[in-house]
Chains A and B, each alone.
Chain A
Amino acid sequence: MIRTEELLLNVGPQHPSTHGVFRIIVKLDGEVITEATPVMGYLHRGTEKLAENLTYTQIIPYTDRMDYVAAMTNNYVLCYAVESMMGLEVPERAEYLRLVVMELQRIASHLVWWGTYLLDIGAMSPFLYAFRDREKIIDLFNELCGARLTYNYMRVGGVKWDAPEGWLDKVRDLIPYMEEKLKEYDRLVSGNEIFLARIRGVGAYDAQTAIGYGLSGANLRCTGVDWDLRKNAPYSLYDRFEFEVPTGERGDCHDRYRIRLEEIRQSLHILRQAMAQFPEPGPTMGKVPRVIRPPAGEIYAAIESPRGELGCHIVSRGKAEPYRLKFRRPSFVNLQILPKLLVGETMTNLITILGGIDIVVGEVDC
């Protein structure tokens, strides 16, 4: 008597490809997934609740730890929200510094994604190549603000440090270097037939579905929707720069891969322009009251983080601490589509699709 049984498999929380402590319970029929249930919360630290008892300056180091691969953008979204609420002026040089570090951060974040994604697919070397180049950016940040991962660099009304001597030149040197390295990456894997066969047509969805699930970032743009908050709702100084928003057509993992690599190129393009028009030395902190007390009210500020729309919703009662603080974390929102994408796929594609969404568990669980 032959009978078949569904296999209930626990992928994670300790699993090499769940990028931290993320868990998916899958039901397998052979190697085909019939049901997938993501389980999260293993890295929950209660940032939003903690923030209710902290002043705005004290929250900034906590935002570093949400998306720890792209801490600069997290810093920015909080400062941006508070500044918009209080109507603060940020000195031009500080704003340029912010923009430069955010674009560098985008490159660093996409490099981490690129390396780990290829690692998921089974190629070891790209990870090391990506980290070699990310290291250069991390070193720049280390020189600028004294930390390699949790920067705590931005402050409400400006930035903590002006660029040290020679730092801007190092950024200028980095741009041609990275452009050269991107070509190397393309030679290394982008054209590899095995790799293309692995990601083409995998995890595809259309624009309607993507919008329905609230996806943002490369996960949305891969379906052809031209939506980038840097263009569509400009913040910081992005309206002063020329750049393109790469979009895909098929909405599959290959499009997401292509878009992220292209975004690195566009970031370099923005950096090149920013370095050309970088303002002369001046103040890097605006006029900020001693204690930051935004007026009573609410604000939602959103920026384009490397992973998508990163929002910060502050409810203030006019105190030094927020009454309620909510972060719209792109990793968390983008993850919603995972159970839908996984049904009918194989175990191998689970890894490809999960990696393609580009989550950072610190941000998912916050």
Chain B
Amino acid sequence: MGDLLREPLTAGNALLFLLAAAGLLLIVLGFVTYAIYFERRVIGWMQLRVGPNRVGPLGLLQTVADIFKLLIKEDTIPRKADRALFVLAPVLAYVPAFAVLAVIPYTSGLYFADLNVGLLYYVALSSMTTLAIVLGGWASNNKYALLGGMRSAAQMISYEVPLVMSVVGVVMLSGSMNLRSIVAAQGDWFWQWHFLPQLIGFAIFVVASVSELNRTPFDLPEAESELVAGYHVEYSGFRFAFFMLTEYVYVYAIAALTTVLFLGGWHPPAPFLDIVPGLIWFVLKFALVVFVLFWLRATFPRLRVDQLMGFGWKVLLPLALLNIFVTAAYMELWIK
């Protein structure tokens, strides 16, 4: 992939890039389909149920059927809604979600963009989705949606700060914001990966990223027991599907980012295990992160808005700053 990226842009190359992007889109859609299936299965098992098992063998086609149902559903737009913004919001939510995937490297050779500010690109683009959620909540002209949108804005802004701060330590240790270099900077043994030296940073990153994903225990914007469905309460059919898709694409993105930043990317946990291809290791770590997200959802209750904000600003942010300071001190005293 790397050589191709360095070549001058010709019509043939452009077509290749387009095909690669389409391929990634298909993979992501496949992931979303089966992540939802997997989530429902895992949560079902944890709740002593069996989960979806009716459509297709083992219920494997359940999500396909659900998506099909959403696609053929009537597309309703409330009369009092702001039509243009209402239509724009799901698109605006999805585009950055897909665009951030460009910078994620899967193995040393398989990546889509070799960006020197990859991490910054990720963080900057992913905040745009907040805008879409606020927009969707506001444009629906529904009070529950508005409350959901407001909560979402408050939550995502206040958790973006600790999220970015928590990865500064990683950036300092690896001396780069390029995600490929960050993986390369992590050692061969699993204790050399960033999650141990950067334990505080890792913990903050996990909490803040779950919050960024709007998943339990931070699923306040769409708290179904309070706000019915939050910002997407008025959405139906494929527009609703796009919001759901965005959410699960972010699960993909965050899981991949966690793997890259803290879990050593495609490195095997021990050097002698490198007979297994790096991509497999990547997928395994990725799946573990996704599983933990579902596991949390099956167990935890939801936080309250004020507690959430307090936790973000009073606990996570100071901790993240402390982490940066400690990392800097460590590097100054030992590494130099």
Q: Mask for A315-344, Cβ within 8 A of B = 1, else 0?
A: 000000000000000000000000000000
**Do B304 and A125 touch across chains, with their CB atoms under 8 A apart?**
no
Report B132-165 residues with CB < 8 Å from chain A CB: 143-144, 146-147, 150-151
**Do B226 and A347 touch across chains, with their CB atoms under 8 A apart?**
yes
Q: How far is the CA of A195 from the CA of B47 in the complex (A)?
A: 18
Q: How far is the CA of A194 from the CA of B220 in the complex (A)?
A: 13
Distance in angstroms from B159 CB to nearest chain A CB is 16
**Do B143 and A350 touch across chains, with their CB atoms under 8 A apart?**
no
Cβ–Cβ < 8 Å partners of A9 in chain B: 143-144, 147
Distance in angstroms from A228 CB to nearest chain B CB is 29
Residue in chain A with minimal CB distance to B227: A347
**Do A16 and B301 touch across chains, with their CB atoms under 8 A apart?**
no
Q: How far is the CA of A17 from the CA of B144 in the complex (A)?
A: 14
Interface residues on A, range: 20 to 34
Select which of B143, B217, B226 is within 8 A of A348 by beta carbon. B226
Listed residue (B219, B225, B227, B306) with the most chain A CB atoms within 10 angstroms of its CB: B225
Number of B interface residues in the complex (CB < 8 A)? 32
Given the known inter-chain contacts A122-B216, A124-B43, A194-B217, please indicate yes or no for A349 contacting B304, CB distance below 8 A.
yes
Residue in chain B with minimal CB distance to A18: B225
**Do A122 and B225 touch across chains, with their CB atoms under 8 A apart?**
yes
A118 at the interface (CB under 8 A from B): yes
Report B251-307 residues with CB < 8 Å from chain A CB: 297-307
**Do A128 and B47 touch across chains, with their CB atoms under 8 A apart?**
yes
Distance in angstroms from B51 CB to nearest chain A CB is 12
Residue in chain B with minimal CB distance to A355: B225
Distance in angstroms from B149 CB to nearest chain A CB is 12
Distance in angstroms from A339 CB to nearest chain B CB is 18
- Residue numbers of B with Cβ under 8 A of A are 43, 46-49, 143-144, 146-147, 150-151, 216-217, 219-220, 223-228, 297-307
* 18 chain-A/chain-B pairs, Cβ below 8 angstroms: A16-B224, A16-B225, A17-B225, A31-B151, A31-B305, A120-B225, A121-B225, A122-B223, A122-B302, A123-B302, A125-B298, A188-B299, A189-B301, A197-B307, A198-B302, A346-B305, A348-B220, A348-B304
Closest 9 CB pairs of A and B: A122-B302, A123-B301, A128-B47, A121-B301, A17-B225, A122-B301, A348-B304, A120-B225, A195-B301
